[in-house]
Structure 1
Amino acid sequence: PIPEPCERAFDEVNAEHIYADYIVTDGDTSTITLYLSQIHCAACVWLIERGLLADKAVMSATVNLAKKQLTLQWRTEVTKLTSLLLQLQKIGYKAVVLDPAVIATEEEKQHRQWLYRIGVAAFAMMNMLWLSIALYSGAEQGDFRQWFYWLSAVIATPSFFYLIWPFASQAYRGIRQQQLTMDVPIVIGVSVTYGYSCYQLLMASNGSQLYFDMVVNFLFIIIVGRYLESAARRQAIAKSEALIWQSPAIARVLTAEGQQMRAVELVNIRDRVLIKAGERICVDGIVVEGEAQVESALLTGEAQLSSVSEGDTVLAGMMNQQGYIIVEVTRENNQTQLAQIHQLIETAQQQKPYYQTLADAVVPKFVLATLLLAIMTAAYWTLQGQIEIAVMTAVSVLIITCPCALGLASPLASAIATGVAAKRGLIVKSGQALERLSAVQHWFFDKTGTLTVGQLQVEQYQVVLAEHYDEVLRAMSAIEAHIDHPIATAIEAYRQQYESALLPTVQDCQYYQGQGVTATVGQDNYIIGNAAFLSEQGVACSTDWCLSQQAATPANHSEIWVAKRGQVVAWMTLSDVVKTDAGEVCQHIQQQGMTVAILSGDRHRYVAAMSAQLGITEYYAEQLPSEKLAQVKAKQSDAVTVMVGDGMNDSPVIAEAAVSMAYASGSQLSTQAADIILLASDVRSTLFCQQLAKTMVKIIRQNQLFSLVYHLIMIPLAMIGWITPLLAAVTMPLSSLCVIINSMRLYRYAEKSK
């Protein structure tokens, strides 16, 4: 029910303060995600979204039916959140902040209300049963029998109005917004049965056409069914949440007075937190004391242990298996990598895939079709002179055609799939990504950091003039320090083996993605990159010295050249290690009828050797970013394509591909352009993600097919009178429960794929 005026006034006065911490403002727009405990079907979704979008200040309103969440974006200067909350209340829904404690309170309140109604319905149903037994046992004669009929009406009437209220109020609010929700057929069906029984009672019927017991029994079954459906849905989502959100809420902070237990939200940057053996790390920070063995399964899906000690970085979500460490906090709680993962998953689950959009469009029309079918059924049996059958068959049609199963078919499976993916170190950023991934026919893999480990090592370093050895190496290290790339890390690691002098100052550093870099060090202009890049810059790598170095380069090494003042002065080769599972994954992809290709900017000999090692026949070497983009566009014209890269040098290609995956680089996961972020370092996770996507789409189609077949079978049976209203009331929630149980098979798939 709509809150009283005093409650509205309280909300209006305090909402800006209560909700302020949950609003994200970006320029002139604000966004908030709210929890709605009262939504239960796709028609509710349609009603809320249409009602809010009628306000021109609202930019978007997206409801996640499976999680009962509303993501709202509006123009800050045009309207306030309080106005939108009041508008939402007028539609008939109360919103609360997305806080676990608040949500738990709201769910407990809803849980209690449903239990009260179940108790009332059960009490009335049992009393109606005793009256029926009395009638069958001899109280069926004369006025005495009529008193029993009136007593049935007395018990059924208050029960009817109390139990029907939540359905009737939602139906009324929907009609006010010119929308037929799924509560409308329920209210009409039960009300017609109750009204028909009252009419027969007042007309002194002999009792054969009184259905007061059916009204109570019917409402009991409907309420129990909705309660069980809600509980099952909540359990499915809770299991998905538990897979990805296991960070502890309390931190052991070290202060001048000793240890202090403090909520993680209240831990500040530069605070020091003690993590004991067996505890999960609750902050992102740097180890300042102690040693420990930690595993990162929650973050990456990989359970390998790694040692951390003073100076090492640790992340919230890691588990300390052995030892103790003191961690100095470097990020606020809402900026940790685990928090970013959670936010990305929430964003993905708020988006509507194709199958859900299709269902949301069908459901409103479905309700109208239900009413028309019920009217046609009643009219047919009335013309046959069967008034009682007309009432019962019309009620059965109204009840049995609930499209809740259709509305749940996609959002629940999608929510579970994203949770399962996160458990395996796969962060799905786009709600449509998994659907597209299920139809992929061609795979493009980047080389460095994707098929290889990405930990480059300098194997050879030569200079034209020996006296330039340290100077050029120092300049290379200084220039590469401005670039986030594995080559830069390798060069600096190599330099530190021989010297630790201060690096020179670099000016005018310009990075050319996937090719090289130019910069000024002192008075000298440097060019660092592959031979093609130097050639573009007007420097030819064709001297006898250059040709001899090229001839000495092993096939499985990368090479870079250094030019100073327009002349080649140095040459370097680097090696990398192919990931152990890369060949197996590429072979498996090809065995399933898909094609695989390597896209690389590296030299032809190196890429050809790696392709042969992995069993890949299609590869493209010495590719500029524009050429990589052209390759993806060409392939995508006749095949759904996925690009797997490192997320740093492949941004245009990643944006172009139908589906993109990128290995996580750095802590700012939200800046990754890819649809799916790979936290695990293996290649196998890409294949798991595609198999998960196929399974998800298969389950969604099964759910939708089940809903379609259910209605095609049950509606005709209800129209001819083979299904009673009570049986219809039983089968309606069972159809939704079947969809929920089928969607939860995704958990079983995840267990099998370990």
Structure 2
Amino acid sequence: MQGENQLVELHVTGMHCNNCALSVHKMLEKKGYQNVFVSFANEEVKFTADKGLNVNNVIQDIEGLGFKVQQEEQGFVKEGFLGKIEHKFIFSLLFTLPLFLHMFLPFHWLHNPYVQLSLCLPVFVLGCAYFGKSAINSIKAGVPNMDVLIFVGSTSAFIYSIIGTLLGLGPNYMFYETTATIITLVLLGNVFEKRSVTQTTSAVKDLMKIQVDSAVRIVNGQAERVDINQLKIGDTLLVNEGDKIPTDGDIVWGDASVNESMLTGESIPVEKGKYDAVIGGTILERGSIRMLVTKVGNKTVLAQIIDLMKRAQAAKPPIQRLGDKVAAIFVPVVIGIALLTFVLAYFAFDIGFRQALLNAIAVMVISCPCAMGLATPTAVMVGLGRSAKQGVLIKGGDTVEEMTNLKYMVFDKTGTLSTGKFKIRDIKSELSDIETATLIHGLESYSNHPIAKSLVNAFANREKRKIVFTQVKEEKGLGIKAMDSEGHRYQIGSKQLVEDSKELGNYDVFLLRDDELVVRIAIDDEIKAGAKELVQTLKGQQIIPVILSGDRKEKCDALAASIGITEVYAEKLPHEKLELIESLKQGGKVAMVGDGINDGPALTTADVGVSLGDASQVAIQSAKVVLLNNDLQSITTLLKIGKHTLLTIKQNLFWAFFYNIFAIPLAAFGFLSPMLAALAMACSDVVVIGNSIRLKFKKL
């Protein structure tokens, strides 16, 4: 019998590219762990394993690959001076500068081979510790990384120089400045890379800054400030004007204006009153409230958004598979090319051992699988971060690519293309006003459907009597079935409840008591702002808009005609919606846009499910995209960001491939020295990451 699984989360430092993350990922999968998630940018490793796993063994395996695991309980671990990549670069630079400048400075002692050896040795030892350990362990893991090329190249130059020094072969055998310069320039590239990647992950860091570390809790009428981790569900908190709301909860006293821009991108404050839900991290701009805690820790909306963002940034779009395949075989191929370069140069073209070796070293140093590994994740991070700041949560890099290849965009009607706020146009009842209000308000309060919510609000202030329902059941697409304490059976919902079509008239909601129709309600719904403009945008991008709704055909046709949609499927039950989505998928990629309440199965079945809903639903949405501000304009934003993110990925991959295709032959034919090759290699990463960062500010 398989044991219960546990989630293991580790903070791993030292991963500076996708190849590093890939080596950790493959090692963990070989060990048999499930749901492996590795993000080099966020320095996170997560996986599930059987209960009773010795985490220390896993830590040893990861550190055996050349990375460092920092456990939570260790707290802040003070690094030595050489613990940071910036300090490694400064240390190397101090020894490399005199070595490099000996060609230009009139100091004869700098030409002494033993002086050069003493200057080069500290840099070489540092390079072996940093690149060598990573290189050897990546080979053991079966995923050779860029460090193999750097280590082999710098070591070849160093060993050749040592032999020349010991045998007294003269200055033509001195490559100490080449060794030190290669290591120093690659470290410089890593510094640029680290700082650039930090910028690409700023969206997640910005969200994490929103989190509150303390709260004011009311205990026996007294206020006390406590750590956020001490809060429990059911605690009462005091939040005053200007404070951040500490966690998710419901207002039990007071009124306030709450700025929810960190979730929705909408800067206009939202008015909140008693029983309204509030989200942790939002700002109370006016008023003072007491709130009841409903969610804590990683169950809060903000915590789930942060986790969602981290996972989304690590999800690979299909276009990355090409880069991954090339990067996986790249290092062995480059070493093969370097050996071939040396053999041909020395034996076939007879250009001398020294120059042949320099050409081979230049080939290894110029090659940069890191640029290919960084091309996709950095663009995805920036694209997803930019969309999140505008209230659009995309749950994976693969979704970005799917959004750019859509053939159909299917819309639910109620709450999606329409506002979901209904007005009663007409009501015909066989019951008294009090009984009508009592039954409709009581029954519809059990549903979250927009029509139900509107009816509850409409009858909230009318006179009612008390009624007790002993059984209540909601059937998606039909309505509510219930029984009261006196044994009466009730059904309220759509026209599917009424067998005789003559009794429908121009009504939308029907109430039956003991199978007898007693109330008919006609309702009106408003078209949501921006619906017509969105349809025109979709048509301009050759995406076919479709209405798929359970509402009456006359209403769906009227709305479709007013906003320019010609393909309409009305009066569909949830299982019929699924069948239609499956049918449309035969003709191309399908996005389904719904309110996230009734449309869960259809959202999941579509290639891309897009949910318009309030922030409190984020954790339970089955969609791949969540529009936090409930605005159709966000779909246009989604399409634009998806298009430009994919374009950025393609540009990055082009430059990464083009760079290697162009640079390797130059190095092989001796047009690039190893030092110039190291500088060019460092620049290639910066170009790719810089292009990704450009997406953050680019006008869409």
TM-score range, shorter chain: over 0.9
User: Which residue identity does 1:697 align to in structure 2?
Assistant: L
User: Structure 2 residue aligned with 1:410, among 348, 363, 376?
Assistant: 376
Task: Summarize the alignment of residues 541-690 of structure 1 with structure 2, pairs less than 5 Å apart.
Answer: 541-542=501-502, 546=503, 550=505, 553=506, 559-664=508-613, 667-690=616-639
The letter for the 1-side match of 2:357 is: V
Which whole-Å CA distance do the structure 1 matches of 2:265 and 2:239 have between them?
21
Structure-2 change in CA distance of 1:312 and 1:652 (3 Å): closer
1:214 maps to 2:214: no
**1:618 shift after superposition:** 1.8
Q: How much does 1:573 deviate?
A: 1.5
CA contact (8 A) 2:434 2:464 kept: no
Return the offset for 1:240.
Answer: 4.6
Counterpart of 1:729 in structure 2: which amino acid? Answer: A
Letter in 2 for 1:89: E
- What residue in structure 1 maps to residue 54 of structure 2? 80
What's the CA shift for 1:719?
A: 0.5
Q: Which residue of 2 aligns with 1:43?
A: 19
Match of 1:726 in 2: 675
1:124 aligns with 2:84: no
Corresponding residue of 1:96:
70
* Pair 1:674–1:257, CA change in 2 (3 A): closer
1:436 to 1:372, Cα distance in 2 relative to 1, 3 A: same
Q: Distance in 1 between matches of 2:620 and 2:534?
A: 28
Partner Cα distance (2:123, 2:450) in 1: 71
Q: Report whether the alignment pairs 1:394 with 2:370.
A: no
| Structure 2 CA distance for aligned equivalents of residues 702 and 681 of structure 1 | 32
1:350-749 correspondence to structure 2 within 5 Å: 350-383=314-347, 384-385=349-350, 386-463=352-429, 465-467=430-432, 469-507=433-471, 509-521=472-484, 522-531=486-495, 533-535=496-498, 539-542=499-502, 546=503, 550=505, 553=506, 559-664=508-613, 667-749=616-698
| 8 Å Cα contact 2:200-2:381 kept in structure 1 | no
Equivalent residues of 1:433, 1:675 under 8 A apart: yes
Give, in angstroms, the shift of residue 90 of structure 1.
2.8
For the residue of structure 1 that corresponds to 2:371, the secondary structure is helix
RMSD of aligned alpha carbons: 2.6
* Structure 1 residue 251, shift from structure 2 partner: 2.7
Is residue 248 from structure 1 mapped to residue 223 from structure 2 by the alignment?
Answer: no
Deviates more, 1:389-398 or 1:269-278: 269-278
Answer whether contact 1:131 1:152 (CA < 8 A) is retained: no
Cα distance in 2 between the residues matched to 1:396 and 1:746: 33
The secondary structure found in structure 2 opposite 1:602 is coil
TM-score, scaled to structure 2? 0.93
Indicate if the aligned counterparts of 1:344 and 1:670 stay in contact, CA closer than 8 A. Answer: no
Q: CA deviation at 1:74?
A: 1.5
Unmatched 5+ stretches in structure 2: none
Q: For residue 200 of structure 1, what is the aligned residue in structure 2?
A: 164
CA 162–65 in structure 1, closer or farther in 2 if over 3 Å, else same:
closer
**Contact 1:37–1:110 (8 Å) recurs in 2:** no
Once structures 1 and 2 are overlaid, which stretch shifts more, 227-236 or 155-164?
Answer: 155-164
Equivalenced residue count is: 696
- Match of 1:64? 39
Cα 1:110–1:484 shift into 2, 3 Å:
farther
Q: CA deviation at 1:112?
A: 4.2
CA distance in 2, matches of 1:292, 1:665: 18
Question: Which has the larger displacement, 122-131 or 706-715?
Answer: 122-131
8 Å contact kept, 2:256–2:272: yes
Q: 1:232: which partner in 2? A: 196
Answer whether contact 2:207 2:306 (CA < 8 A) is retained. Answer: no
Does the CA-based 8 Å contact 1:477-1:503 persist in structure 2? no
Whether contact under 8 Å (1:243, 1:422) holds in the other structure is no
Instruction: Work out the CA distance in 2 between the residues paired with 1:96 and 1:618.
Output: 56
Aligned letter for 1:426? V
Pair 1:257–1:615, CA change in 2 (3 A): closer
Q: 1:665 to 1:217 in 2, by over 3 A?
A: closer
Match of 1:23 in 2: none
Q: Give the gaps of 5 or more residues in structure 1.
A: 1-25
What are the superposed Cα offsets for residues 496-518 of structure 1, whole Å, 9 maximum, x if unpaired? 332132133242x3333222333
Distance 1:345 1:27 in 2: 30
Q: 1:269 to 1:526 in 2, by over 3 A?
A: closer
Cα distance in 2 for residues equivalent to 1:145 and 1:683: 69
Alpha-carbon distance, 1:133 to partner:
5.0
Q: Return the alpha-carbon distance in structure 2 between the equivalents of residues 434 and 724 of structure 1.
A: 40
Q: 1:30 and 2:1 equivalent?
A: no
- AA paired with 1:70? V
* Aligned CA distance change for structure 1 residues 90 and 518 (closer, same or farther; 3 Å): same
Deviates more, 1:320-329 or 1:214-223: 320-329
Taking a change above 3 Å as real, the CA distance of residues 657 and 145 of structure 1, as seen in their structure-2 partners, is closer
Task: Tell me, in whole angstroms, the C-alpha distance in 2 between the residues paired with 1:339 and 1:258.
Answer: 29
Counterpart Cα distance in 2 of 1:736 and 1:160 = 23
Letter in 1 for 2:181: N
Q: Secondary structure at the match of 1:500?
A: coil
Aligned residue identity for 2:656: S
Per the alignment, in what secondary structure is the counterpart of residue 172 of structure 2?
Answer: coil
Partner SS, residue 577 of structure 1: strand
* Separation (CA, whole Å) in 1 of partners of 2:427 and 2:3: 50
Deviations 1:438-489 (A, max 9, x none): 21121111011111221223332212x345x543543343333332212222
Distance change in 2, residues 1:518/1:261 (3 Å): closer
Q: Is the 8 A contact 2:150 2:183 kept in 1?
A: no
Encode CA deviations 1:23-77: one digit per residue, 9 max, x unaligned: xxx9822223322211123332232122222223x12323223323222121226
> Which residue identity lines up with residue 524 of structure 1 in the other structure?
H
**How far off its partner does 1:125 sit?**
2.0
Deviations 1:674-728 (A, max 9, x none): 1111211111111211211111111111110110110111011001000111111
Query: Once the 2 structures are TM-superposed, how far is the Cα of residue 407 of structure 1 from its aligned partner?
Result: 0.2
For the 8 Å contact 1:288–1:310, the answer to whether it is kept is yes
Q: State the alpha-carbon separation in 1 of the partners of residues 403 and 396 from structure 2.
A: 11
Q: How do 1:265-304 and structure 2 match up within 5 A? A: 265-304=229-268
* Per-residue CA distance 1:74-129 (angstroms, 9 max, x = gap): 1226x333332232233333323479x95x757x6697443443233222123325
Match of 1:114, as an amino acid? Answer: I
**Which stretch of structure 1 is more off in the superposition, 516-525 or 675-684?**
516-525
CA shift in 2, pair 1:130/1:716, >3 Å? closer
Look up the SS of the partner of 1:208 in the other structure: helix
Cα deviation for residue 740 of structure 1 reads 1.0
Relative to structure 1, the CA distance from residue 64 to residue 353 in structure 2 (aligned partners, 3 Å threshold; closer, same or farther) is farther
SS at match of 2:419: coil
State the partner residue of 1:4.
none
What secondary structure, in the 3-state scheme, does the structure 2 residue paired with 1:601 have? coil
Amino acid at match of 1:381: A
The one-letter code sitting in structure 1 at the alignment partner of 2:68 is K
CA distance in 1, matches of 2:83, 2:231: 35
**Alpha-carbon spacing, 1:27–1:696, altered in 2? closer, same or farther (3 Å):** farther
- Select which of 173, 185, 191 maps to 2:137: 173
- The one-character-per-residue Cα deviations of 1:259-296 (angstroms, maximum 9, x if unpaired) are 54433222344444443433322222333444432221
Contact 1:63 1:350 in 2 (8 A): yes
Q: Distance in 1 between matches of 2:21 and 2:247?
A: 37
Identity of aligned residues (%): 26
Task: Give yes or no for contact 2:81–2:87 (8 Å, CA) kept in 1.
Answer: no
Deviation for aligned residue 1:255: 5.6
